[in-house]
Amino acid sequence: MPRPLDAVMGVVATVREDLAAAHRRDPAARDDLTILLTSPGLHAIWTHRVANRLWRRGATLPAMVLAQGARSITGVEIHPGATIGRRFVIDHGMGVVVGETAEVGDDVMLYHGVTLGGRSMERVKRHPTVEDGVTIGAGARVLGPIELGEGAQIGANAVVVKDVPAQATAIGVPATVRAGAAHPEVQTDPAIWI
């Protein structure tokens, strides 16, 4: 049986890891206290972790109420059934939506207004799988049970409805792959994210 002190130390380690990730990914991040108190993306993620634990234990109503409370305060809606990895950063946060069957890997970065949404009304896997190290630009819509490969980059306001290979960049409406293994001649540009 886990000891209470071990659980507290695990939470503290996770919070420190999240703060370090925010420092790495956000040049506007000043210090730990400011991030801790003012980052709606982190507040949404931390609340999601509690709601997800409730969801997995079958306490779906309290999980949904907690998620909706976080949405009201942060402007970020993460369904308690979504699977979220470590060091997940949501920059600015407002308008982000992560659907119930979405799976998000480690070291993923979302900018404001991103939707990881579904395209089906059936109770099946209907939201995207986002592998490790993916960056999704402001206002992008990633829809359906598609996969964004490791290290992929999605441009601002792109509408992605097909898989994106690892290390590739997808831009446009509908999104097309513009860089990566399939198109090494095209350089990626961080300016597409925001």
Report the predicted TM-score, pTM, of the whole model to 2 decimal places.
Answer: 0.85
Q: What does the domain layout of the chain look like in residue ranges?
A: 4-192
Q: How many CA atoms lie within 13 A of 74 on its CB side?
A: 29
Structure confidence by residue, pLDDT tens digits, 61-107 = 999 999 999 999 999 999 999 999 999 999 988 999 999 999 999 99
In the chain, the largest separation of any two C-alpha atoms, in whole Å, equals 55
Whole-number Å distance between alpha carbons of 41 and 94: 8
Question: Beta strand 169-171 with 97-98: parallel, antiparallel or unpaired?
Answer: unpaired
Determine if residue 167 is left, alpha or beta; phi over 0 gives left, psi from -120 to 50 gives alpha, anything else beta: left
Question: CATH number of the domain at 4-192, out of 2.160.10.10, 3.40.50.1980, 1.10.238.10, 3.90.1150.10?
Answer: 2.160.10.10
Is 45 in contact with 78 (CB distance < 8 Å)?
yes
